[in-house]
Chains A and B, each alone.
Chain A
Amino acid sequence: MNINQWMSEFVSNTQHKLLSMLMNMLPRGEAEEVLQEAYLKVFLELSKGTPFEPLPFVFRVARNIAISRLRHQKIVSQHECSLQQVSPGENEANPLEDALKVHDQDQLLIDAINSLPPICRQVFLLRKREEKSHTEIAQLLNISVKTVENHLSKGMRLCRLYITAQRVKHEQQRSGKTGTA
């Protein structure tokens, strides 16, 4: 099998899944561009002849490209915002935006942990702050080790959803702002 045949087979086996991941991150048009770019990288890597695993490789490459695009978009829109703020009468800063600038990702995580339901939060704190083992926590709270595990995974899930929601809110606020300006 030559490299072109291999490549077209690889593309048809992976493109559906890759595209659906990328479309969760970017609009369709951009997702397709990223997809092409990622396959090109696989092709170049193949031509080098050094051994690599194409499947994990293409997912990582696609993801990295998508993330750097997102980051670029953020920088551009922040730049737009700062230009708007310089204009007279527009000195009022957006409080949420400032909050996100001043308080970094750590603050977001702390807020997320503070928003956990009480028992879940207590298990989380015992584990992450007091560094107690699952068994110790189970004994302290008189619950099973499996329940400790469940509280921890629930805590992680809720933290993730909290931060994701804040992020979406922030993006919407910003796009709303640039939209009206």
Chain B
Amino acid sequence: MSIDEWLGFGVPEEILEQATEWLALLDSNQVTDKQRAAFFAWLAADPLHAIAFEELSELWARSSVIKNFHQLIVESKVLAFTRHGQSGPALPVIGLQQAGMLPAGFPSASVGMSQPSNVVALNVNPANSASYTSAQTSTWLPWLSVAIIVIGLALPFIN
């Protein structure tokens, strides 16, 4: 299948955008009858709607490819805290440890009150992290405050 057959090539941008929104909604499995009816009405309203929906469904289905190639995917999680020198219960902190989002020296610097070795991994794929450097400085400050709160919550468990 050629690449032109699953990107809605030639279809106006706003129609592709609508198709994407429908796909995300239908994927939620929490579609009301009213929404379903609206979807079918939209689908039938214009041949381009059907084309856009079909092709982007293909894109959506194809993106499951990441299940087979997980070694190629840049991780965006795992910053586990364990006890110094022991394998204590790891506290996965999801959402905070985005790859490339925090500067390399960030975790140990901010966790001054606990041992730096508490920080186990900031799992960054070096090949890809470069692309985030521009966004880094503007985004890591809010995360710093989140990190401090999370660490505060985690401390009772650590000790």
Residues on A lying within 8 angstroms of B by beta carbon are 17, 21-22, 24-25, 55-56, 58-60, 63, 66-67, 70-71, 105-110, 113-115, 117-119, 121-122, 124-125, 127-129, 133-135, 140-142, 145, 148-150, 152-153, 156-157, 159-160, 163-164, 167
* Docked-complex contact A128 and B64, CB < 8 angstroms: yes
* Docked-complex contact B28 and A118, CB < 8 angstroms: no
Given contacts A156-B23, A160-B7, 15 further A-B contacts (CB under 8 A): A67-B4, A106-B65, A106-B69, A107-B72, A113-B66, A114-B125, A125-B76, A129-B64, A129-B66, A133-B29, A134-B29, A140-B94, A148-B28, A159-B59, A160-B56
Give the distance in Å from the alpha carbon of A66 to the alpha carbon of B21 in the complex.
27
Residues on B lying within 8 angstroms of A by beta carbon are 2-5, 7-12, 16-17, 20-21, 23-25, 27-30, 47-48, 50-51, 56, 59-60, 62-67, 69-70, 72-74, 76-77, 94-95, 98-101, 125, 128, 131-132, 135
* Docked-complex contact A118 and B128, CB < 8 angstroms: no
User: Interface SS of chain B: helix, strand, loop or mixed?
Assistant: helix
> Which residues from A are CB-within-8-Å of B63?
109, 113, 124, 128, 156, 159
User: Interface SS of chain A: helix, strand, loop or mixed?
Assistant: helix
Task: Give the number of residue pairs across the A-B interface with Cβ within 8 Å.
Answer: 140
> Which residues from B are CB-within-8-Å of A122?
76-77, 94-95, 98
Give the distance in Å from the alpha carbon of A67 to the alpha carbon of B11 in the complex.
13
Give the distance in Å from the alpha carbon of A121 to the alpha carbon of B128 in the complex.
13
